[in-house]
Chains A and B, each alone.
Chain A
């Protein structure tokens, strides 16, 4: 169990990530807030408790790797990287702007510290993660771990199941795939558009070790990440039950907030709901 201090610390970070996502996408005028909100707690507990990394030394050889397979949720990734100190916070407000290192989807060639690879075409990040885990486990024999985050809509891609099969086949117990199970994709409910359930049984059948977690509950997520480290001989998936748009009343469970930025009125409402002053929305924004 996490103690109260930890819980408070992580809750604060997740709250700031949500605020940053709103501020970034509002000033960008576009972006993907819904699926960013649903992974705020996942990224927080990963980067601030479980990940072996050095923000001041992003290419540190012994770091664990994080691959955001659902690349469109990069506002949340950019926020957690800034929070961890990978790059200056002010740069966040350049999201999606001309010349920015914070591209609309993660871009390796722009050199933002903490970005391991370009992702955004769904279903591809998981294969990259499998390749890295394969290299660590079967060639380098090191103890580095690979974490990848997928959307539940993303797993409709056939490539994902090719990758799942390969990870099971090669017994990649250094690989953890977190499935952000918010049940929504652009066209509506995942179960209506193309039902992916039962995910748990499918993962088992693909020789993975599935764990179900409450994706906005730090204790539940923490237990899942701890448990994942104990599993030997097979890759682990954490099926995180989440809410798309979590934390913003008008965004929660609304598919329309997948890829749309809030207007000024709604951005202010979101900022206030998150407990920040209205003025924070425009603070440090270059005119």
Chain B
């Protein structure tokens, strides 16, 4: 039996939330335009392009130019949303995002699709495991890593309606558990406390939030009380929530579908060492490239699954002073 079924979780790709948000925003913001790079359906930008063809521009397979064009559109008062796979957005167009978009603080929103291992069978070339590191070092940038479809919708709406400047939204391809609904609060830069606990904090992002919830159920059976945080905004990161978690639980485990260096774990550690140092550990892809396989197979192989998270959490809690 699929573990997710126990929870009654609906399985929906988070990219759907991105597409839904675009059409919703289109009505309210005539200045919203969308730029694609030949992956319009994959990123769900097609929800928008089919309804608003006059406000959609395909840049073709040319991400560097797409990023620059987006900046140009922003300079004329439009709100451009550029979407493609995370590897191409954050990787191939990195200097364009850095120097043209961020340095000029252009009001460009970037939809980084297929984040993590969620593009499974396509293999390492298309599995984006580096964007958090690449994007969070950029001044003026806001980085969202929403947990599911609905949170991706909210993050995309916030990117357009609450932030005047560059935003990167990282979301995935494969269906993932819907763990939030319309009534779940989403506040930019404010971590979402999924559940409170006493013995250890798990700070996760993206689909790893659901995986962490499953891990916490195993841990709680063993008498370990777990606090879970959905860190949907990695930049600016919620320092207060991190410090509070360190003080309260005395140990922090981060969980992400990303390289171990420079990602969510690094971002959290940077806050922990400067506020209230406690033992930490990281569940992440351990400095290696991905490979072909179904996302869940890969998540197991790379030890990002709930059982691996629970194991690491248990070990970490033993290190507590």
Interface residues of A (CB under 8 A from B): 65, 107-109, 116-121, 123-124, 126-136, 138-140, 158-159, 162-163, 165-166, 169-170
Contacts and interface: CB of A to CB of B under 8 A. Distances in A.
Given A121-B95, A127-B72, A139 B64 contact: no
B55 A139 contact: yes
Contacts of A124: 64, 68, 95-96, 99-100
**Interface majority SS on A: helix, strand, loop or mixed?**
helix
Nearest to A127: B68
In the complex, the 4 A-B pairs of residues with the closest C-beta atoms, listed nearest first: A131-B72, A127-B68, A162-B65, A131-B69
Contacts of A116: 75
B239 interface: no
Contacts of A120: 99
Nearest to B98: A121
A163 B33 CA distance: 18
Given A118-B103, A162-B62, A165-B62, A127 B67 contact: yes
Nearest to B55: A139
Given A128-B71, A131-B75, A159 B64 contact: yes
**Interface majority SS on B: helix, strand, loop or mixed?**
helix
Given A130-B68, A158-B64, A135 B100 contact: no
B240 interface: no
Contact of B65 (A65, A118, A163): A163
Q: Please indicate which of the listed interface residues A107, A123, A136, A166 has the most CB atoms of chain B within 10 Å of its own CB.
A: A166
Contact of A159 (B76, B96, B103, B106): B96
B62 A131 contact: no
Contacts of B70: 131
Given A127-B65, A159-B96, A132 B73 contact: yes
Contacts of B190: none
Nearest to A133: B72
Interface string B70-83: 11111110101000
Contacts of A126: 68
Nearest to B71: A128
B121 interface: no
Contacts of B95: 121, 124
Contacts of A135: 33, 72-73, 76, 78
